[in-house]
Structure 1
């Protein structure tokens, strides 16, 4: 695997368009990348990104193809960078919000049972012609048989809205359940509406959905 420094730099700059362009790379290339927001060379993520943006960035790096690096102390929200030459550093208190976030995230991200799944970017379209906030939203999905995980991230500090266009799905006239594993909520939609408009999402700054999608 090769460190995905390009993604790291684009996440740091919060340049959503450049992040999407990077994720459009060939899947064989992406499968060989090591995704991270913190390592021995970089500042602590909670400092470099800020707490809220670091959690949004971690959702992205933890749910993409390739390998994932979670650095020591990252899940506790530590802020002091320790040189690797030192075996230990000062004691820090856990950031409870970040710790609880990772406790949940690491239980729901795609694991080894998704290694042979198909990964696809999703289309992101405006909810109306006057709202450009859809440009802040990144979305993609994992497919394995009749299982589907849909990730939606608002990578911006402001509220953002969009219609998510989900590929390779036959909505029909059935109802569909979108279970947000991250926020423990369920949303039900009619297939006809989803086919015509896409999935409507509205997210506060730096917030995300990690949906399990099921036909009802």
Structure 2
């Protein structure tokens, strides 16, 4: 992970009136061979929800697989939705996720 590019990401409210997304800190990493990672932390003593805007411009029109390298979470997501709204996160107090992000090609990676 020394090679590649880290980028701080913006977050948006999960719904009107919910400001808990302000406690979410998220970074994306893009590396050699098209490798991608997304790291998100809830820096609060309460659950936080929000959408994280992803920096990759090739998400739309493809399906994506997100695998949490710190836990059992696995998600398949539509790239057009990811490009439009971002990734929805609902993290517990002090919770974190470190996703490996891969394009789905003819079955799960």
Task: State the TM-score, normalizing by the size of structure 1.
Answer: 0.46
Larger of the two Rg values belongs to structure: 1
Gaps of 5+ in 1: 1-113
**In structure 2, which of residues 11, 14, 29 is the aligned counterpart of residue 127 of structure 1?**
14
1:170 to 58, 78, 86: 58
Separation in structure 2 between the aligned mates of residue 123 and residue 189 of structure 1, nearest angstrom: 19
Q: 3-state SS of the aligned residue for 1:140?
A: strand
Aligned pairs, number: 103
- Between structures 1 and 2, the one with greater strand share: 2
- Where do 5+ consecutive residues of structure 2 fail to align? 105-109
> 2:27 maps to which residue?
140
> Aligned ranges for residues 4-153 of structure 1 at < 5 Å?
114-145=1-32, 146-153=34-41
State the 4+ residue runs in structure 1 displaced beyond 2 angstroms: none
- When you count helix as a share of all residues, which structure comes out higher? 1
- Please report the RMSD computed on the Cα atoms of aligned residues, expressed in angstroms: 1.0
- TM-aligned CA deviation for residue 168 of structure 1: 2.8
Output the TM-score relative to the length of structure 2: 0.90
Match of 1:116, SS state, is coil
**Shift in Å, 1:172:** 2.1
Where relative contact order (Cα < 8 A, 6+ residues apart) is larger, the structure is 2
Of the three residues 101, 104, 107, the one matched with 1:213 is 101
